[in-house]
Structure 1
C-alpha cells in the first residue's frame, strides 16, 4: 500500500486571511508540507501589479528544527512546467545538506530563512539566486502540536511592496517573489492520545486530530482498525485501502473500493485550498475482477529526470485546464482469464461536469514514460451527476500492465473550459505548451508590450 502524504489544513487558510501575530521562541522539530505560489512583476513590484506565474502542482515536504535553526524545504514542479528547488546559501552542501537552509528567530513571531532559490528551465539558463524569505509562524490555537506557516512581505531596503515574499531582481526574466504557505506538526506528537503519531496518521491518510479519531465514520476508532502494528495497518480485503479508511462492509469486499480521498488527501477534511480536497470517491468492479490497489494524487506523472534538476520532470494533460479532481489510479487483478471488457463504475462525492463539458484523461506508456492522453468519448459514460462508468480491456491501450489478468490504469476527469478539444487531443507532455506561453509572456513584458 502506498503511504499518503500529509497536506495543508483548512484552519491554515482561515488564519492566513486574518492578521495574527506569530509565536516567537518556538522549540522542537516539526514536519509538514507547503504549497508554493510564484509571483512576478513585469515592472516595479507593487500590490496589484503582480502576476501569479504558477503554483506547485502538489504540496511539498518541509522540516523545521527550531532547536538548531535549520529548515529543509523540498521542491516540486510549478504548474507552468518549471521545477524549483530551495537550497542552502551557495548550494555548497552534499545530499540533504545541499537543501538545508539556516534561519533566525526575529523574536516577533517571524523567522527569516536564508536560502538559495533555483528554477530549472534551460530556455532561460536555469537561473539561481541567494535570497531570504520571512515567515510568520503561529501555534495552531486548535492543536498545540501544529504550527501554521505563511510568507510575509519583507524587502531588504525596508520598503514593503504589499506582496507576500521578498523580491529577487536581476536574475530571472522578471522580478519574482516566492510565496510559501503550509503547516508542520511536532515530531512524535499524538493529538488523538492513542499513542499513534500524528505524522504516521497523516502518512496513512487518516485524520490525526483528537476530535476525529474515526476517519471513515463507521463507528470503529482508527486505532482499533489499524490493528496491532500501525506501521503495517490491516487491509482485510487486500484492495490497497486500509480498513481505517474503508467504511463498513466495503472493508470486506475486494470488488468495492470506498473512502478514497481525492488529491492524496484526508477524507472529510479540506486539507488544501483545492475545492475538492477532502471529498471522496468509491469504485466498483464485477467478477472476475477485484481491486488490488487504489491511489489518488495531483494531475502529474513523473518522467525521466532531465538536465541538472534532482526533481523528475512531469507530464500533465492539455495546458490551460484545471484538473481539480486530480487523478485516480486503479490496480485490478482477475481470478480467471477473460476477454470481456472490464467495466469500472466510479462515484464521486462532488458533482461531475455536465456531459457536454466532461473530458476524461487516462495515462499511457509512451517511450517508456507514462503520459496523459484524452480518452475517446465512447470509452466512458456519465451515468449521473456523480457517477462515471469506464470500459477497458486487459492489455488494451489504457492498460499500464503488460501482464495478462492484471489491469492498471489511471484516470483524471476534467471540465472542458477551453472548447475545441477533439478525441485525439492531449499533448503528451502538457507542460510544454504552458512553458512556451509563459516564455512568450515574459518576452512580451521585456519588450515593453502590454499584454491583455
Structure 2
C-alpha cells in the first residue's frame, strides 16, 4: 500500500512539473525568418469554431524581422466556400504605406505576437473591401524554425470561439472575416525587410 501511495505522489508531482514547464509559444524571439503560410477566412456563424468562408488555394510566403519588429505577408487567392463561390485575390500590407508593405509586430512577452496590417479582399461583389486589422499569433521556436498559428483574440481582449480577430463593422465585409494564418518559418539571414 505504501509503495502505491509513493507511486501516486511521484506521478502527481511529475504531472505538476510537466504542467508548469509546458508553455505555449516562445517569448522574445530574435532574428529574421522566412517561410510559408496557409490562410482560412472564418465567420462567426454560431457553429463551434465558426464556418470557413474562404480557403487559400496554395501556401504563400511570409517573412519576419523580430529585431526590427515587423513582418511581411505576400498576397494570394482564396477560394470562396458555399454558399459563396469563386476565387478572389487578397493583399496584405501596411495601414499607411499600402499593400505589399511591411507592418508592425508586437511581442507580448508570453509567446503571442500581434501583427497590425491592412487586409484587402478583392471581391468585386462586395466592392473589394479593405480593413485595417490585427491578428494575434502564437509562435513557437524550435531550434532555427518557428511554428506559427493564429489564436482567437478580439480587439477588446475577449474571445468569441473562432480562431482569428473580427474585422470591425464599417469596412464592407459581408461577414466577420476572421483571418486564420498558420504555417512555418526558418531562420533566414537573407531576409531584408524595410520596416516602418
TM-score between the two structures when normalised by the length of structure 1: 0.34
Query: Structure 2 unaligned runs (5+)?
Result: 1-21, 81-86, 192-196
- Residue 25 of structure 2 is matched in structure 1 by 22
- Residue 146 of structure 1 is matched in structure 2 by 145
Classify the secondary structure of the residue corresponding to 2:177.
Answer: strand
Classify the secondary structure of the residue corresponding to 1:79.
Answer: strand
Classify the secondary structure of the residue corresponding to 2:79.
Answer: coil
Deviation track 1:309-340 (CA, whole Å, cap 9, x = no partner) reads xxxxxxxxxxxxxxxxxxxxxxxxxxxxxxxx
Separation in structure 1 between the aligned mates of residue 94 and residue 47 of structure 2, nearest angstrom = 29
- Residue 223 of structure 1 is matched in structure 2 by none
* 1:36 and 2:7 matched: no
Native 8 Å contact 1:35 1:181 kept in 2: yes
Separation in structure 1 between the aligned mates of residue 155 and residue 105 of structure 2, nearest angstrom = 16
- Residue 71 of structure 2 is matched in structure 1 by 71
Q: Shift of the alpha carbon at 1:158?
A: 2.3
* 1:186 and 2:187 matched: yes
Q: 2:94 aligns with which of 88, 91, 105?
A: 88
Separation in structure 2 between the aligned mates of residue 26 and residue 63 of structure 1, nearest angstrom = 14
Native 8 Å contact 2:119 2:133 kept in 1: yes
* Matches for 1:112-123 after TM superposition, within 5 Å: 112-123=114-125
- Residue 107 of structure 1 is matched in structure 2 by 109
Separation in structure 2 between the aligned mates of residue 39 and residue 109 of structure 1, nearest angstrom = 23
Separation in structure 2 between the aligned mates of residue 136 and residue 49 of structure 1, nearest angstrom = 17
Query: Structure 1 unaligned runs (5+)?
Result: 1-18, 190-198, 200-452
Q: Which structure has the greater CA radius of gyration? A: 1
Q: Shift of the alpha carbon at 1:188?
A: 4.6
* 1:175 and 2:176 matched: yes
Looking at secondary structure, tell me which structure has more strand per residue.
2
Q: Shift of the alpha carbon at 1:98?
A: 4.1
Separation in structure 2 between the aligned mates of residue 104 and residue 60 of structure 1, nearest angstrom = 22
TM-score between the two structures when normalised by the length of structure 2: 0.77
- Higher RCO (CA 8 Å, separation ≥ 6 residues): 2
Deviation track 1:230-279 (CA, whole Å, cap 9, x = no partner) reads xxxxxxxxxxxxxxxxxxxxxxxxxxxxxxxxxxxxxxxxxxxxxxxxxx
Q: Shift of the alpha carbon at 1:122?
A: 1.1
Native 8 Å contact 1:89 1:115 kept in 2: yes
Q: 1:126 aligns with which of 122, 125, 128?
A: 128
- Shift >4 Å, 4+ stretches: none
* Matches for 1:11-410 after TM superposition, within 5 Å: 21-42=24-45, 46=46, 48=48, 50-80=50-80, 81-90=87-96, 92-93=97-98, 98-140=100-142, 144-170=143-169, 171=171, 172-188=173-189
Native 8 Å contact 2:150 2:163 kept in 1: yes
Separation in structure 2 between the aligned mates of residue 113 and residue 137 of structure 1, nearest angstrom = 12
Deviation track 1:18-68 (CA, whole Å, cap 9, x = no partner) reads x851101111000001000111135xxx56272101211000000000000
Native 8 Å contact 2:44 2:162 kept in 1: no
Q: Shift of the alpha carbon at 1:115?
A: 0.6
Classify the secondary structure of the residue corresponding to 1:123.
Answer: helix
Separation in structure 1 between the aligned mates of residue 92 and residue 61 of structure 2, nearest angstrom = 11
Separation in structure 2 between the aligned mates of residue 49 and residue 28 of structure 1, nearest angstrom = 33
Question: Cα RMSD over matched residues?
Answer: 2.1
Q: Shift of the alpha carbon at 1:159?
A: 2.1
Native 8 Å contact 2:36 2:62 kept in 1: yes
Classify the secondary structure of the residue corresponding to 2:125.
Answer: helix
Deviation track 1:276-327 (CA, whole Å, cap 9, x = no partner) reads xxxxxxxxxxxxxxxxxxxxxxxxxxxxxxxxxxxxxxxxxxxxxxxxxxxx
